[in-house]
Amino acid sequence: MPNIKSAKKRVLVNAKKTEQNKAIRSAVKTEMKKVDLLIKENRLEEAKASLAAAFKAIDSACAKNIYHANNASNKKSKLAKKVDAALASAVVEEVVAPVEEAALAKPARKPRAKKVADAE
């Protein structure tokens, strides 16, 4: 434990700032988890909307020097890639699904050719 008054104050200030930084990091992680959960639940439009909130939280933490700029950029990039991949796979599934249903359906029967009776 420090003996000098200014050192004692630094210990208190550092502890307070550490708690504030933890809260901000936790908020960023929560926003990122919300996006991941929405992707897993296949609620892609909501995930896209939630992505903006996650970006805002990450940018805010970066502005407060809690995350380095490159770290913040990597986090944003990874989230955006996840959302884009989920949206792309959803579009592919929408296109492929009707084709598969059509392939599974029984083909319509062709009418039999009528036999022409021999003229006697």
Tens-binned pLDDT, residue by residue, of the chain (120 aa): 889 999 999 999 999 999 999 999 999 999 999 999 999 999 999 999 999 999 999 999 999 999 999 999 999 999 999 999 999 888 777 666 565 665 666 666 777 777 776 655
Judge contact between 62 and 69, C-beta under 8 A. yes
Q: Which residues contact 92 (CB under 8 A, 6 or more apart)?
A: none
Q: What pTM, to 2 d.p., does this model score?
A: 0.71
